[in-house]
Amino acid sequence: MRERFWRKSIPYLFLLPQLILVGAFALYPFIYNIILSFQKFSLTGSKFVGLQNYRELFQDRIFWTTLKNTLHYTLGTVPLTTLLALLAAIGLNQKIRGRAIYRTAYLFPNLISWVVIGLIWQWMYSVDYGFFNQILRRLGFSEVKWLLNPKLTIPSIVVASVWHDLGYYMVILLAGLQSISESYYEAASIDGANTWQKFKSITLPLLRPMLFIVFVLSMINSFKVFDQIYVMTNGGPGRASLMIVNYIISVALEEMKLGYASTISVILFIVIFVLTIIQKMIFKDKELEG
Amino acid sequence: MRKKICTLIGLLLVVSLSLMPVFAAPKKITLSVVYYYTSEAARNVMDKIFSEYEAANPNINLEIQVTTQAKWPEVMKTRAVAGQLPDVSLTVPQRVGEWAEAGLLQDGTKYIPKNVLEKFDPVRCLSDRYDGKIYGLPANTTVRAVAYNVDYFKKAGIQVPTKASEAWTWGEMVAAAKKAQAASGAKYALQFEKPSFDGWLPFLYQAGGALFSKDMTKVAINSPQTRRALEWTVKLHEEGIAAPGIFEGTEDPLRTFASGLSTMWLGTGNWMMAALDPQMQHEYSFTFLPKDIQQATVVGGGDWIVLKGKYPKEAWDFVLFVLNQENMARYNSVHISIPPRSDVHAEYSVKPELAPFFMEQSRMVPEELMAHQLLPAYAAGRDKLLQELGACVSGQQSVDETIKAWEQILNDNLKK
């Protein structure tokens, strides 16, 4: 009896440290954040205000601007990162000379802090000193205000983000590619399949779980984007690149509206949660179709 | 005999135990201090002053947190929410009112000797006064003016105004900057200060505009004067006269001016010389901010405030030590700013000959501008006001939309 009890308990004991950490640093703050979203704070205290913060949110034009900006950024980042990471993973899965060096080179930007990378890219985009404008000038074109033209600000940040994140997602997809048995490809070759047919009928279906992970992770990270915006534009010009998380920080720490900032966080969570469920359903349907 | 010895030992024990508190070392007090610095030299001076304070007060231990001026609100508000406010902090004059209004500051009336308070500039001390009480004291006074590239202006044969009464009008200043640009081949005629609404305020008041009404009960920013100042600013950017990316923070204003890309830097001031001097690739100097219907500048600097805590007397003693004659002179000398005490003279460590100029420029602060910029309703909205300015300058919204947005921000804050 006792032996059976211990045998059943051992997995939970192994899980306990992680459960404590998740509980203390994720679950408790998450629940507390929901409680805060019904309160109003000042420098001296807080009071319960019911749904007032939620009502205020729907009339807050800045919130809708940040939501639009964040969606714009996500739509730019997620497909581009996934596609380029997939291409890089396929390329680096081939037997080429210096493969390890290339893999490290792709991963390297991901190991550097966004503060450093943000400053480097801000310099590269500089109107007067920037690398890109130097090239344009040499080629006889007029300079471009990469970060100052509101239409180009988010696309410019997307490029920097894709460059930074590419290696990370490439490693995930590479692991997926390496788990696909060579025998499938050999069998397909015997059947006369060409490269595209092999990719379409073997690689893509078997890589789908990894692609789902990459899609979900990059989407969540895109909605949580903060560092690069903070360093490169601080949400400007005006509010052209102000994202939800930057707005949450500004509302919480500059305006001291902690309750309202928590409300925006709750809405951000709901948006990400719903989109993840939709993605899960899409990928599940495809699996069934497959 | 044994009984007597035991009684004697007992007595000795009782006497020694009762005397212990008298001879024991006094309990050490920890004063928590939050401050920021703008140059390494200023930091070194502050570190030295703190060490000297600890040496002079062995029962006090200083717990220092260094931050940046931009991060100060974040640090302090986080500490407020956590219930861990420091005892003393350095801040900008515009921030004091907000904290005094929240009831978190310690009145210094009974801790500041009258003869010491009399030495401080009463106008500069306005930032620390709230509801008839005094919550802090100024450490230094900075003044906004115009830095210009002497080499470029010499090339163009332009004489800059040397007296406040001869200050350029907006049109004269832009014409001079364009002439210097043409003669030198600089990319831009001029540049604004940095991503800061304070840096733009002088132009609003020069045009006769104002943030609030004279009695400070209503928002007055929606006016033809504001429109004139904003349209002028936008036009300078649209026509490529002003360097781009300064209000937006994507270009470094110090680098733009120091490298000679622009001929003039509007709204920068004495405090910037410590950073500018080692980087400047040309000769530079300062002239007066221009006038439109009136002259206007903004004075700022740093104020030491005392927060409500366990040791108000010790905290105020610390502030008075940091701001005594000798320490204020040392700090203002490296910070290159005007000492707000009448009995202190600070020799600027860079370009000491400009000290009288900055004194003269500092007298060009309209009374209402001084009062308006100290209202918490302005301090709490500065970041949002700047965002709207950036949106307007970058062409995302019209001048009218911007002014309406400004009015809304200030109205919301005034209502609070």
Q: Chain B partners of A59 at a C-beta cutoff of 8 Å?
A: none
pLDDT in tens, A174-232: 999 999 999 999 999 999 999 999 999 999 999 999 999 999 999 999 999 999 999 99
Q: Which DSSP string corresponds to A36-76?
A: HTTEEEETTEEEE-TTHHHHHHHT-HHHHHHHHHHHHHHHH
How far apart are alpha carbons B64 and B66 in whole angstroms?
Answer: 6
Calculate the alpha carbon distances from A75 to A265, A266, A280, B385 in Å.
Answer: 20, 21, 17, 30
What's A241's DSSP letter?
A: T
- Summarize pLDDT for A220-268 with one digit per residue, the tens: 999 999 999 999 998 989 899 999 999 999 888 877 788 999 999 999 9
**Quick check: B245 and A250 CB within 8 A?**
no
Gap between the Cα atoms of A260 and A157, Å rounded: 27
- Residue A162 CB: number of other CB atoms within 10 A? 20
Picking from B104, B390, B393, the nearest residue to A43 by CB comes out as B104
**Among candidate residues A225, A217, A214, A218, the one with its CA nearest the CA of residue A70:** A225
Count Cα atoms within 13 angstroms, Cβ side, for B38: 23
Contacts of B55 (CB under 8 A, 6+ apart): none
pLDDT of residue A290: 46
Identity of residue A109: P
Q: In chain B, which residues have their Cβ closer than 8 Å to the Cβ of A147? A: 245, 248, 250
Within 79-98 of A, beta carbons closer than 8 Å to B belong to none
Q: Are A202 and A211 in contact (CB under 8 A)?
A: no
Structural domains in chain B, sorted by start = 29-142+300-357 (3.40.190.10), 143-299+368-415 (3.40.190.10)
**CA triplet B14, B18, B23: central angle to 5 degrees?**
130
- Which range among B74-88, B151-165, B210-224, B282-296 shows the weakest confidence by mean pLDDT? B74-88
Class of domain A52-289: mainly alpha
- Which residues sit opposite A47 in a β-bridge? A40
Alpha-carbon distance A9 to B291, whole Å? 80
Structure tokens that stand for B298 in this block: 């903004």
Q: What are the chain A neighbours of B187 within 8 Å (beta carbons)?
A: 128
Residue B50 has pLDDT above 70, yes or no: yes
CB B87 within 8 A of CB B306: yes
What pTM value is reported for the model? 0.84
- Residue range B113-139: mean pLDDT, rounded: 94
- B227-245 pLDDT tens trace: 999 999 999 999 999 999 9
CB contact under 8 A, B387 and A147: no
Question: pLDDT per residue over B186-207, tens digit each?
Answer: 999 999 998 899 999 999 999 9
Tally of CB atoms within 10 A around A172? 17
Residue B250 to residue A233, Cβ atoms within 8 A = yes
Contact list in A for residue B244 (CB cut-off 8 A) is 127, 145, 148
Which chain A residues touch B383 with a CB distance below 8 Å? 250, 254
The CA dihedral of B308, B310, B314, B320, to the nearest 10 degrees, is -10
- The shortest C-alpha distance from B344 to chain A (Å) reads 35
- Closest residue in B to A242 (Cα) is B387
- Enter the DSSP assignment of A141: P
Q: State whether B249 and A234 contact (CB < 8 Å).
A: yes
Least confident interval from A104-113, B3-12, B124-133, B227-236: B3-12
DSSP A200: I
Whose tokens are 């420029």? That residue is B361
A205 in B contact zone (CB under 8 Å): no
CA proximity to B390, closest of B237, B161, B255: B237
Tokens for B27? 């309990």
